[in-house]
Amino acid sequence: METKIAIVTGGTAGIGKEIARGLVRRGFLVGIVCRNEMRGRATVEELLEEVPEGRVEIFLADLSVLMDVRRVAASLEERFDRVHVLVNNAGVHLMRAKESADGYDRMIATNHLGPFLLTNLLLGHLEKGARRGW
């Protein structure tokens, strides 16, 4: 049986964590894209305690930094030959304007530009996942 692969951004807390949990329970190999390695590792441990046969990996990236998005997309493409599901969940809500490393409003960069770029960079892998009849 083919391994189903899902990528979840912002999968260490809230809705993203629950989406990752549900996907692990359903047998997906889940790649969690997160900014904080310690939170990522803690999430992997938590999910694997609940589903010992589950498979979860972390990939570090700040979606507000376009170079990080390009780097994590390359890592995901190198690690997986296809992607069946991409959940662009990561987001921030900032009360005060902050500038991203690339000079954009950080909230716009994290919530819109980063996910748009990640989706476009992974489009070929998503199409491969869709062609496999899943």
**Which residue numbers in the chain have pLDDT < 70?**
1, 132-134
Question: Strand order in 5-9's β-sheet?
Answer: 55-60, 29-34, 5-9, 85-87
The domains located in the chain, with CATH, are 5-131 (3.40.50.720)
- pLDDT digit string, tens, across residues 94-133: 889 899 998 999 999 999 999 999 999 999 999 999 886 5
pTM: 0.94
